[in-house]
Amino acid sequence: MKALYFAWVRERIGRAEEELSPPPEVATVGELIAWLKSRDEAYALAFENAAVIRTAIDKAHVRHETPIAGAREIAFFPPMTGG
């Protein structure tokens, strides 16, 4: 699946997007975050406070408990500050 990163999540990881192939035991958004966090220091920093990270699957907000099965695009970003 395609991963997108925005704002300081993007800056900390150092890229705006990439292809992810998590192992089959990674079932939810929260588990995907934990898996990414374990990759290297950049991801660890980006996701250090996982509770604040907002997520979207296929351009709609989802919670960390949401399953990732079937997701084509998953996005990670800080709380929104538009408007």
| Interface ranges with another protein (CB under 8 A) | 4, 6-8, 56, 59-61, 75, 77-83
Q: Which is nearer to another protein, 44 or 52 (CB)?
A: 52
Q: Which is nearer to another protein, 12 or 37 (CB)?
A: 12
Distance CA 22, CA 36 (A): 9
Provide, rounded to whole angstroms, the least separation between the CB of residue 53 and another protein. Answer: 12
CB 31 within 8 A of CB 47: no
Q: Which is nearer to another protein, 11 or 31 (CB)?
A: 11
Give the Å distances, CA to CA, from 57 to 9, 45, 61, 67, 82. Answer: 16, 22, 7, 10, 20
